[in-house]
Chains A and B, each alone.
Chain A
Amino acid sequence: MSLFRILINQLEEEDEEMATSKKVITREGWEKKLNAVKLRKEDMNTLVMNFLVTEGYVEAAEKFQRESGTKPEIDLATITDRMAVKKAVQNGNVEDAIEKVNDLNPEILDTNPELFFHLQQQRLIELIRQGRTEEALEFAQEELAPRGEENQAFLAELEKTVALLVFEDASNCPVKELLDISHRLKTASEVNAAILTSQSHEKDPKLPSLLKMLVWAQNQLDEKAVYPHINDLSTGKLEDPAE
Chain B
Amino acid sequence: MPTTTSSSSSAAASSSSSGNRQADVFSRLASSDPEVKLKALREVKNQIIGNRTKKLSFLKLGAVPAIASALSDADDSDKCNNILVQSAAALGSFACGFEAGVQAVLDAGVFPHLLRLLTNPDEKVVDAGARSLRMIFQSNLAPKYDFLQEKNMEFLFSLLNSENENVSGLGASIIAHACGTSVEQRLLCDAGVLEKLVILLDGSLSQREACLESLATVLKNNPDAVSHFVGLEGGRYLSSVTELTKDRYTRTRLLSCLCLVVIYNTSPSYFLNMGTKSSLITTLLELLNDPGQSGDDAALGLSSLIAEKEDLQKLADEANAIKNIVDILKTGSELQPKRLQGLFLSLAELCSKLEDCRCSFLSLQVLDLLINALRHSDANVRTAACICFKNAARSIKNLSAGHFTNDNVMLPLVQLLHDPASSVQVAVLGALSNIVLDFSAPKSTFIEYGGIKQLIELSKSMDPNARCSALRALRNLMFLADNKRKEIFFSDVKAQGFACLISDPEPPVQEQALALLRNLVDGCISSIEFVFDEDCLILNTVGRQLRKAPQAQMAIQGMYVLTNVASGNELHKEAVMQQLFPQGEAESENFMLKFLQSHESQLRSATVWTIINLISPSSPGALDRHVKLRNAAIISQLKNMVNDACLDVKIRIRTVLGQSMSFGDS
Chain A residues with CB under 8 Å of chain B are 98-99, 102, 105-107, 109-113, 116, 138, 141-143, 146, 150, 152, 197-200, 202
In contact, A106 and B204 (Cβ under 8 angstroms): no
How many A-B contacts if CB must be within 8 Å?
53
Can you list 17 A-B contacts (CB < 8 A)? A98-B46, A102-B49, A106-B45, A107-B131, A109-B49, A110-B50, A110-B96, A112-B50, A138-B14, A142-B18, A146-B52, A146-B53, A150-B52, A197-B205, A198-B205, A198-B206, A200-B204
- In the assembled complex, the Cα of A138 lies from the Cα of B14 at a distance in Å of 7
In contact, B14 and A141 (Cβ under 8 angstroms): yes
Chain B's nearest CB lies how many Å from the CB of A5? Answer: 15
In contact, A110 and B45 (Cβ under 8 angstroms): no
- In the assembled complex, the Cα of A197 lies from the Cα of B248 at a distance in Å of 11
Which residue on chain B has the smallest CB distance to residue A143? Answer: B51
For B17-29 the 0/1 string (1 means CB < 8 A from A) is 0100000000000
- Which residues from A are CB-within-8-Å of B89? 102, 106
For residue B92, CB closer than 8 A to chain A, the reply is: yes
- In the assembled complex, the Cα of A158 lies from the Cα of B351 at a distance in Å of 43
- In the assembled complex, the Cα of A68 lies from the Cα of B649 at a distance in Å of 88
In contact, B14 and A113 (Cβ under 8 angstroms): no
- In the assembled complex, the Cα of A114 lies from the Cα of B49 at a distance in Å of 13
Chain B's nearest CB lies how many Å from the CB of A88? Answer: 14
- In the assembled complex, the Cα of A107 lies from the Cα of B205 at a distance in Å of 13
- Which residues from B are CB-within-8-Å of A198? 205-206
- Which residues from A are CB-within-8-Å of B334? 152
Known: A152-B334, A197-B205. A106 touches B49 (CB 8 A): yes
- Which residues from A are CB-within-8-Å of B92? 106-107
In contact, A99 and B42 (Cβ under 8 angstroms): yes
Which residue on chain B has the smallest CB distance to residue A117? Answer: B50
For residue B217, CB closer than 8 A to chain A, the reply is: no
Size of interface on B: residues with Cβ below 8 Å to A: 24
- Which residues from B are CB-within-8-Å of A102? 45-46, 49, 89
Known: A99-B42, A106-B92, A200-B205. A111 touches B97 (CB 8 A): yes
Q: Which of B42, B50, B205, B248 contacts A113 (CB 8 A)?
A: B50
Chain B's nearest CB lies how many Å from the CB of A89? Answer: 15
- In the assembled complex, the Cα of A105 lies from the Cα of B89 at a distance in Å of 9
In contact, B205 and A109 (Cβ under 8 angstroms): no
For residue B93, CB closer than 8 A to chain A, the reply is: yes
For B45-72 the 0/1 string (1 means CB < 8 A from A) is 1100111110000000000000000000
- In the assembled complex, the Cα of A112 lies from the Cα of B251 at a distance in Å of 13
Give the interface SS of chain A, mostly helix, strand, loop or mixed.
helix
For residue B662, CB closer than 8 A to chain A, the reply is: no
For residue B333, CB closer than 8 A to chain A, the reply is: yes
- Which residues from A are CB-within-8-Å of B135? 107
In contact, A200 and B45 (Cβ under 8 angstroms): no
- Which residues from B are CB-within-8-Å of A106? 45, 49, 89, 92-93, 131
List 12 other contacts, CB 8 Å, given A106-B131, A107-B135: A99-B46, A102-B49, A102-B89, A106-B92, A109-B50, A110-B49, A111-B96, A116-B51, A146-B53, A150-B52, A200-B205, A202-B248
- In the assembled complex, the Cα of A148 lies from the Cα of B93 at a distance in Å of 21
Closest 7 CB pairs of A and B: A116-B50, A200-B205, A200-B204, A109-B50, A146-B53, A110-B96, A106-B89
- Which residues from B are CB-within-8-Å of A113? 50
Residues of chain B in range 122-138 having any CB-CB distance to chain A below 8 Å: 131, 135
Which residue on chain B has the smallest CB distance to residue A113? Answer: B50
Q: Which of B45, B96, B204 contacts A107 (CB 8 A)?
A: B96
In contact, B97 and A142 (Cβ under 8 angstroms): no
- Which residues from B are CB-within-8-Å of A109? 49-50
- In the assembled complex, the Cα of A138 lies from the Cα of B12 at a distance in Å of 12
- In the assembled complex, the Cα of A141 lies from the Cα of B131 at a distance in Å of 31
- In the assembled complex, the Cα of A150 lies from the Cα of B52 at a distance in Å of 10
- Which residues from B are CB-within-8-Å of A152? 333-334
- In the assembled complex, the Cα of A102 lies from the Cα of B135 at a distance in Å of 15
In contact, A142 and B49 (Cβ under 8 angstroms): no
Chain A's nearest CB lies how many Å from the CB of B89? Answer: 5
Which residue on chain A has the smallest CB distance to residue B95? Answer: A110
Q: Which of B14, B50, B204 contacts A142 (CB 8 A)?
A: B14
- Which residues from B are CB-within-8-Å of A105? 131
- Which residues from A are CB-within-8-Å of B333? 152
